[in-house]
Amino acid sequence: MRMLGQFFYPSNQLTLLRLVFIPFVILSIVYDRYQAAFVLVLIAGITDGMDGLLARRLGQQTTLGKYLDPIADKLLLNSAFLALAAVREIPLWLVILVLSRDVIMVTTSVVIILATTQRLFPPSLSGKASTLAQVATVLLTLSALLLPLGPLVVLQQVGVYTAAALTIVSGLQYAWLTAERLRGAERAASQNPQPSGEESHREPASQQTPVGENRVH
């Protein structure tokens, strides 16, 4: 019940709002309603900053929010990228790059959570920059579709390559941090080995009865 109540925190409600936006963003792009798509993505970007601020101000930072916030961001951004690629407004290679990195990161995180004591991976600076660049690329692409001016088209292209570069950098940094965490977990396990079942049930030598001590003479 406590976890259910966390859904109604204002910060988590803003996060859930981004999930609600996903089908409308896709439909707006596919059916050439670029202005509506721009407004929805812009609101989503604003709420992404507001939910964390609200959680800190209200003292409502929750485990649910820590997991839900990046999931909402990834789903919304990836949906927008896929829709824009479907209408041939951003290159397919960028979508493949972004989706591949996210799939690898999610899969690795799940494996680490199941196999080790690690739980949350705090967002890195490059990860935040990558997300910001992806949001900017979506907004610039929609802006160029609404107002096909030369400067906007150039900025959109800059956004595409900036997002690609930061996606690669954040992926490499995540791989390095993951390797460091696994090495740390391995070192901790080697320094504190768990006794085997046979050893844990074996009676200490000091308490073992010497052979022949209880023999009747």
Does residue 123 or residue 84 have the better pLDDT? Answer: 84
126 and 72 share a domain? no
Does residue 199 or residue 100 have the better pLDDT? Answer: 100
135 and 177 share a domain? yes
From CA 198, how far away is CA 61, in angstroms rounded? 44
11 and 63 share a domain? yes
77 and 127 share a domain? no
- State the pLDDT at residue 213: 45
Q: How far apart are the first and last CA of the chain?
A: 69
Backbone angles phi, psi at 16, to 5 degrees: -65, -30
Does residue 216 or residue 164 have the better pLDDT? Answer: 164
80 and 3 share a domain? yes
> What count of residues does the chain have?
217
215 token code pair: 């023999």
Residue 84 forms part of a structural domain: yes
Residue 96 forms part of a structural domain: no
1 and 76 share a domain? yes
CB-CB contact of 29 with 83 (8 Å): yes
In eight-state DSSP terms, residue 195 is: P
125 and 82 share a domain? no
Count how many domains the chain has: 2
CB-CB contact of 166 with 124 (8 Å): no
Residue 99 forms part of a structural domain: no
Name the burial class of residue 149, with classes exposed (0-12), middle (13-18) and buried (19+) by CB atoms within 10 angstroms of its CB. exposed
138 token code pair: 């979506």
- State the pLDDT at residue 5: 66
123 token code pair: 């967002």
Which residue reads 């696994």 in tokens?
182
80 and 144 share a domain? no
Handedness of CA 157, 163, 164, 169 (dihedral sign): positive
76 and 138 share a domain? no
Handedness of CA 96, 98, 104, 106 (dihedral sign): negative
Note down the domain range covering 125: 121-191
Residue 110 forms part of a structural domain: no
134 and 63 share a domain? no
pLDDT tens-digit readout, 140-184: 999 999 998 989 999 999 999 999 999 999 989 888 887 777 777
Residue 167 forms part of a structural domain: yes
- State the pLDDT at residue 117: 66
In eight-state DSSP terms, residue 1 is: -
Residue 34 forms part of a structural domain: yes
Residue 199 forms part of a structural domain: no
3 and 85 share a domain? yes
